[in-house]
Every structure is written in structure tokens, then in C-alpha cells.
Amino acid sequence: MAGPVSSAPAIELRGISKRFGTVQANRDICVTVPRGTIHGIIGENGAGKSTLMSILYGFYRADEGEILIGGRETHIPDSQAAIRAGIGMVFQHFKLVQNFTVLENIVLGAEDGPRLSTSLSKARRILIDLSRDYGLEVDPDALIEDLSVGHQQRVEILKALYRQAEILILDEPTGVLTPPEADHLFRILRGLRDQGKTVILITHKLREIMAITDNVSVMRRGEMVGTVATANTTPADLAERMVGRKVLLRVDKAPATPGETILEIRDLRMTEDGIERLKGINLTLRRGEIMGLAGVAGNGQSELLAILGGIARGTGSIRMKGRELDLTGREDGQDRRAQGIAHVPEDRQHLGVIMDFAAWENVAFGYHHDAAYRRGVFSDNAALRADTNAKMERFDVRPPNPDLAIKHFSGGNQQKIIVAREMERVPDLLLIGQPTRGVDIGAIEFIHKQIVALRDRGAAVLLVSVELDEVMSLSDRVAVMFDGHIMGTRDAATTNERELGLMMAGVTETA
């Protein structure tokens, strides 16, 4: 059979619709992706982006519509059919066997026959060529569990290329990457495009869309709003198309009016697996201010939040409202809440919620002993559901169903539920890690406003984010961490990305 016409688009989706029960996930979607381009698809959480890509990759079957690959109508009943059609997908949460080598993961599911040694030998030769051609250098014999997140992502891309993918779908690819890893990924994607591959990028980050894509399609509530050339649009225009209203892309806040010192950290140290993670941290935080912790992931920010949140041990001194906190492990997260400390953890799905439990049960976690939620010795589940309903309305959680298991909410709506649970009580100190990771532009604006409003009500906020622009725009002061140390503290209004970036690399202007 003759191959596809070279001038035909890589992908055409015509009239794609998909319904799950009463929910219309996709409605009459039409989009064309030219060959050899990087095409962005953006939209709020729940807009239908992932459903659409799951149809293209064969995870779901469309109720209506046609898929054309290279100008030919193509039936894609499962992922194997998608692979045969030249489509590869790199998921946000990687599909790798941790105790297998890179080479074994590449071959897994694509063996040539019963003799694995033959498949591995062939794969090694191909892998070396692919790594060289696309700048995807990785040790074929390394165990996946020993690789950084960025290198694991390269393995996922290599898996798709090994299976001769001409079309690559990447779902939120920078959500787990450090800024340098994200920059390297963009160089890889440009190289793939320049060699004729077609890339579809699903992301919430408008800055990435503007930096890397050729065209961008915008989805809203299951429908395709439109497709534009990236050069002919702006972040503000895209945000308005996504949300259906004008969106403030900067944090609008008045100058802080700090009050009394509420948190004092002196010579805080932490050792884990024989490695000193925190090396004598000294920090103070006052009521009515937001302190941002900037730094590349892995430099001690997570450990600091864990100790303050009562889920890790340390040595040194932490005083909260003048009271010494126990750092030996005798106090836990519930004790910290009783002391006026609320915690929105960095890893929401492992530390913030229990995925199989209902939304109203998750709202109760950590606060289930409160008198408002009790009826004698029993929980007042009706009161909990009513409280969750009210929080969902105030925080625009979709769908507003307290009985729905938390795993059925999008990541952004899971985050809203956690934020509502922790912020609504107006704690003295809010610990918040990666507040907008995997969250769409409308929800980002909302969460930022809630953080500022909490500050203005007299709370202190300690913020950790790998997004430097988020730290700079939200914070009143910025502390930079490197290798377990505080490199210095700067006024957010007078510092700049260059100064903070140097500090994040362990360099100061006077060094």
C-alpha cells in the first residue's frame, strides 16, 4: 500500500465527540496538525484535552468522528493500533519499570522474537543512533530508578522513537522537571521537529506555549475554541480564550504590612540516609508576609516544609508564636495544626489526599476531631458534606459533588479542595508547596488571590515553588536555598531573576 501523501497534515480530527455517562467530555472537535510542527493544546482542567489525546492514542473510542493520519482515515481501537499508525505518547507519570535498565524498558513490549538477547542487541544499536541523532543521551545499562526525572523522560521519548513514531504526544511534560531539564527538553523537541517529526504538547503553561510551539489549539468545556499561529497571539489572548473572560496574568497585591515575628528557625539540621539535607537553616517569618523559598528541586526546600509540617525529624530550634516545636517525631501533622500551622503539601496525591476517598472525607482529614464535625462521639457526616458543599462553591470546584471520589477530580480541582481545607481556617502559618503544579490558568489566578488574601488577614505564608516567576510575583521576601543552605534573603520588589538565579546555583555577587 502506498504511503501517505507528504503534503497531507500529520493529523486531522473531524467531529470527534465523547461522552462519559452524563458528562460530554468532547463535543464535535475539529483540529488539523500540520506535519513537522510543534502543536500546543491548552485549556482549563477538565476542558477535554486529555480525553481527546486518549482517543488519538487508542485509550478511548470516540462516539462520533473521524481520525486521519497523513491524509488517510485511520481506525485506532487501542494503543497498539496507535503505535502502528506512527503515534507515540509520553505521559506525565512515566510508564517505566524502575528496576529494569534503560535498554530493557526500550525493548519491553517490542521484542523481535523469543530470544531476548537478539532484541537487546538490535535495540542497543538503534538506541545509540537515536540518542546521537536527537540529543537524547542516556546510558543504556543504567537502572531507571537511578536516573533523574529528566533522564527518565528521555527514555520515554526514546521508547516512542524506537517504535518508529512520527507523531509524539507529550502530556504536561515539564510538570516534574527542573528549569534546566525543561530547557533541555525544549531543545530536544525542536530537534525532533527539525527532523520532520510532529509534536503535540499538552500543557497549562502559557510561557511554554509561546516559547516552543508553532500553532496552538484552545479547548474550553469540551469544545474547540479555535486554533491560531503562536506568532499571532499573546498569553493574555490565550488565557481569555481558555477561561472565557479576561485573566490577570500577574499577582495583584498591595505591599505587605508585616507584624510580629511568628516563626523563628535557628540552626535547623536534617540528616537522611547518611546525607545532611539541611545544614544550619536560620530564618524568621512575620505575620502578614509571604516568604518564598526559591531553589532548584532537591536543595532542601521539601525537607524544610516536612519538618515544619510535622512529618520529618530534625535538630536545632523552631519557635512558633514563641513556643518551641518538638523536632524528634513525637509531634505529627495534627499537632502542628493545633499549633496554628496548616500545610498544603508538594505531592498532593500522596500526602494531601486519599485518592479512593470521597471529597467530603478528604476535607475532614486532619480536622475530623473539630466540634463542628462531631455529634457526640460520632462524626457528623451531614455537617461535613454541607461544609464541603460550601467550600466547593466558594472555590469553584468542578464538579461540585462532595460524594465523588477525589481520584475522579482533575489535578487542579484536587488542589482547590486541599487549599480550601487548609486556608479556610485562617491559620497563623500556611506552609504551601508547589501551589499551582499541574493547575490551569484560571485556577492559578484563583489560588494566588487566596494566598494573598490570607496574608492580608494576618497569616504568615511560607511558599515553595520551582516556578521562579511565581515565587517572585507572590512573595514579599525571597529566601534562596542551595545544597541545604540559605544563600541569602532578598526583597522581592528589588531583586531580579539574574540575582536569584545565581544564588540558586550557589553563587552570590560577592562570592
Q: Kindly report the three-state secondary structure assignment for every residue of 61-127.
A: CCCEEEEEECCEECCCCCHHHHHHCCEEEECCCCCCCCCCEHHHHHHCCCCCCCCHHHHHHHHHHHH
442 phi, psi to nearest 5 deg: -65, -40
Residue 85 carries which side chain, given as an amino acid letter? Answer: A
Torsion, CA 349, CA 350, CA 356, CA 358, rounded to 10: -60
- The single residue listed with the C-alpha cell 507523531 is 167
- Hey, where are the domains in the chain? 11-243, 261-504
**Domain 11-243 and domain 261-504 have a common topology:** yes
Residue 175 carries which side chain, given as an amino acid letter? Answer: G
- Contact call for residues 469 and 436 (beta carbons, < 8 A): no
- Contact call for residues 285 and 477 (beta carbons, < 8 A): no
Give the Cα separation of 201 and 213 in Å (integer).
8
- CA distances for 469 relative to 193, 205, 257, 499, angstroms: 28, 12, 22, 13
> Residue 116's pLDDT is what?
60
Fold of 261-504: Rossmann fold (3.40.50)
Give the Cα separation of 11 and 31 in Å (integer).
8
Dihedral (CA of 434, 435, 439, 441) sign:
negative
> Residue 91's pLDDT is what?
83
Dihedral (CA of 388, 391, 395, 399) sign:
positive
Give the Cα separation of 407 and 191 in Å (integer).
36
- CA distances for 463 relative to 122, 292, 302, 495, angstroms: 49, 5, 11, 17
Which strand (E) or helix (H) includes residue 405?
A: none
- The single residue listed with the C-alpha cell 537502572 is 143
Strand, coil or helix: what is 409?
A: coil
Compute the radius of gyration of the chain from its Cα atoms: 24
207 phi, psi to nearest 5 deg: -60, -40
pLDDT in single tens digits along all 511 residues of the chain: 344 445 799 999 999 999 988 889 999 999 999 999 999 999 887 788 989 999 999 999 999 999 999 999 999 999 999 999 999 999 877 888 999 999 999 888 777 655 566 678 888 989 888 888 888 888 999 999 888 778 888 899 999 999 999 999 998 888 667 667 788 889 999 999 999 999 999 987 888 899 999 999 999 989 999 999 999 999 999 989 988 888 777 788 999 999 999 999 999 999 998 999 999 999 999 999 999 999 887 899 999 999 999 999 999 999 999 999 999 999 999 899 999 999 999 988 889 999 999 999 999 988 878 888 888 888 899 999 999 999 999 998 888 999 999 988 877 889 999 999 999 989 999 999 999 876 777 788 889 999 999 999 999 999 999 888 899 999 999 999 999 999 999 999 999 988 988 898 888 755 4
Give the Cα separation of 403 and 56 in Å (integer).
31
Which strand (E) or helix (H) includes residue 275?
A: strand 275-286
- Contact call for residues 421 and 367 (beta carbons, < 8 A): yes
Give the Cα separation of 423 and 407 in Å (integer).
21
Q: Please tell me the CATH code under which domain 11-243 is placed.
A: 3.40.50.300
Give the Cα separation of 462 and 40 in Å (integer).
33
Give the Cα separation of 359 and 352 in Å (integer).
12
> Residue 1's pLDDT is what?
38
> Residue 505's pLDDT is what?
83
